Amino acid sequence: MPVSRPIPVTLPAHGVVFAESVHGPGFRMAERADRFHKLLYVLHGRVTCAGSGGRPPVPAPAGSVLCIPAGDRHRITDTAPPTLLLVCFSQAFLRREPGLAELWRRLTGGRGVGLRPGPVWGHRFEGLWRAAIVEQAGAQVGRETAIGAAAGTILVSLARRPAEPTADHARRRVEAVARELAETFYEPWSLERACARAAMSRRHFSALFRTVTGRTFLAELTERRLTHAARLLRAGRHSVLGAAFSSGYGDLSHFYRRFRARHGRPPGAWAAGGDP
């Protein structure tokens, strides 16, 4: 339901809450400072975020992220009535997970910032936000852990965004897909999924992907999976089936064929003494 003022947020004991704020035409917000950190993702519409101390307002169109630390005075003003997806979390939550406090400090420097991480990151954020809302609405075992994990994953993925985007927006989208593939190669990837992520045709995406990575999409996916499987087998703590499953292969015979073609030996023989 559209609101005319900021929604009230109360953090639970575990220190993380996901929320939605749909601004009506008459939305007004006075300058404020919250006792918790918050990340605002502009799903629709457009806002500006003004900070204290003479900082210029930061424009935030759809797809943008505003990172606002606890205690930072700020004011959100609508340019076009927006829908905002919020992740609010306490300093205690950041301290519970090694490295998260440093990630947040690096993202913000202690003051509010606006970021435009791109559509690929936006897809990942939206999926994590939906999953966290399901957890919040239920009473599943481990729900607090799942909510915290979603918030942590969002912060990590935001911190890993490219520092200097290229001027070529199509290439930038393909580079973002290549980075996502490198991190999630074990998921059920397909060329169709990759093209949808980059919002371009198969032909255009395939040509740009080869330029960016030096390989076709299938070759890059296969290389990522087989390299990971080889690493697991060489460590000696995984079976062939476990290594195949962990790397994204559901068909063991297909994995055997791919692995032997790549490494020159079946996975069991390679793990026993083949070249890395």
CA angle 15, 19, 20 (to 5 degrees): 165
Handedness of CA 259, 263, 265, 267 (dihedral sign): negative
24 closest CA partner among 38, 48, 42, 45: 45
Residue 263 contacts residue 270 (beta carbons within 8 Å)? yes
Amino acid at 186: Y
Handedness of CA 170, 176, 180, 185 (dihedral sign): positive
Q: Indicate the class that CATH gives domain 168-276.
A: mainly alpha
Q: pLDDT by residue (tens digit) across 56-76? A: 889 999 999 999 999 999 999
Average pLDDT over residues 248-255: 93
Homologous superfamily (CATH) of 16-159 is Regulatory protein AraC (2.60.120.280)
Instruction: Check pLDDT > 80 for residue 165.
Output: no
248 confidence band (pLDDT: 50, 70, 90) = very high
Average pLDDT over residues 218-239: 92
pLDDT of residue 226: 95
The region of weakest confidence among 67-71, 128-132, 172-176 is 172-176
Average pLDDT over residues 1-25: 90
Q: Where in the chain is CATH 1.10.10.60?
A: 168-276
Average pLDDT over residues 195-205: 89
- DSSP letter for each residue of 165-202: --S-HHHHHHHHHHHHHHHHTTS---HHHHHHHHTS-H
Q: Where in the chain is CATH 2.60.120.280?
A: 16-159
Q: pLDDT by residue (tens digit) across 112-124? A: 889 988 888 888 8
